A = this chain, B = another copy of it.
Amino acid sequence: MNPARPPLALTPEPPYYAVIFTSLRTAGDAGYRRMSERMVELAAQQPGFLGVDSAREADGCGITVSYWKDEDSIRGWKAHLEHAVAQRLGKEKWYAAYSLRVAKVERASTNNTNSGPPDSTD
């Protein structure tokens, strides 16, 4: 969403946490894009934020995965006042369906050239 951030998130060695948010959008924008960009901007300022990856198909199916240092960081972000408002509006009008999963990243590999050579821990 923000062209200034790296194309793929660069995260430290596991363990850390991933919040996997999958959703289907309702029709129309209704303030969604602006909120979405604001949430990425705001998340990046939170303690324990490690990065975010996001993609949405033209038909409305989207996935955002944000990465966090620990469970406390996730709780802090969930409770953030402005984020709480966005969560409520999302349930009310932006998302036809959504699922949210909190997962502990145990291992990772990448060839992302910004983060050094690929490892083979997977």
Contacts and interface: CB of A to CB of B under 8 A. Distances in A.
A119 B20 CA distance: 16
B102 A106 contact: yes
B113 A97 contact: yes
Interface residues on A, range: 35 or more
Given A63-B63, A65-B63, A99 B56 contact: no
Contact of A102 (B98, B110, B122): B122
B53 A22 contact: yes
A99 to B, nearest CB: 4
Contacts of A104: 103-104, 106
A2 interface: no
Contact of A100 (B24, B78, B98, B110): B110
Contacts of A95: 111
Given A97-B112, A102-B122, 11 more contacts: A7-B97, A8-B24, A14-B101, A18-B20, A18-B101, A20-B20, A55-B55, A63-B65, A99-B109, A102-B107, A103-B106
